């Protein structure tokens, strides 16, 4: 791969990183703004969907970590908190957009 291909990959990675940082900001700002009852219901559904997805992901990571340590003797690796925050923001913003469309905000 030449340097042009690497620079395109680097630019795409930086755009992805910037996009996830924007989503993290949107997540925290939308949680702080409560609004009326319909908006609170949308935030409740989006938050519970995000929590369920992240709890399921963590459960899967624990099970695969224990399974890998028992069967292959691999050490259990700790999760990167930045990746967890990025995943939570992506799932939250996607479910927020879904419930805003569903409930009309």
pLDDT string in tens for the chain (105-residue length) = 566 767 888 899 999 999 999 999 999 998 888 788 888 999 999 999 999 999 998 898 888 888 887 887 777 777 788 888 999 999 999 999 999 999 886
Q: What is the pTM of this model?
A: 0.79
CA dihedral of residues 45, 102, 92, 14 (deg, nearest 10): 180
Q: How far is CA 95 from CA 18, 25, 40, 67, in A?
A: 20, 15, 14, 31
Model pLDDT, residue 80: 82
DSSP 2: -
Give, to the nearest 10 degrees, the angle between helix 81-103 and helix 3-32. 60
Model pLDDT, residue 52: 95
How far apart (Å, rounded) are the C-alpha atoms in residues 54 and 52? 6
Model pLDDT, residue 69: 79
How far apart (Å, rounded) are the C-alpha atoms in residues 48 and 31? 12
């Amino acid at each position: 791969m030449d340097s042009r291909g690497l620079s395109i990959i680097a630019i795409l990675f930086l755009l992805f990183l910037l996009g996830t940082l924007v989503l993290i900001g949107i997540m925290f700002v939308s949680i702080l703004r409560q609004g009326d009852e319909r908006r609170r219901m949308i935030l409740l559904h989006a938050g519970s969907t995000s929590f369920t997805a992240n709890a399921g992901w963590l459960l899967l990571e624990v099970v695969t970590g224990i399974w890998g340590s028992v069967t292959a003797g691999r050490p259990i690796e700790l999760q990167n908190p930045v990746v967890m925050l990025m995943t939570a923001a992506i799932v939250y913003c996607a479910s927020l957009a879904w419930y805003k469309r569903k409930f009309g905000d």
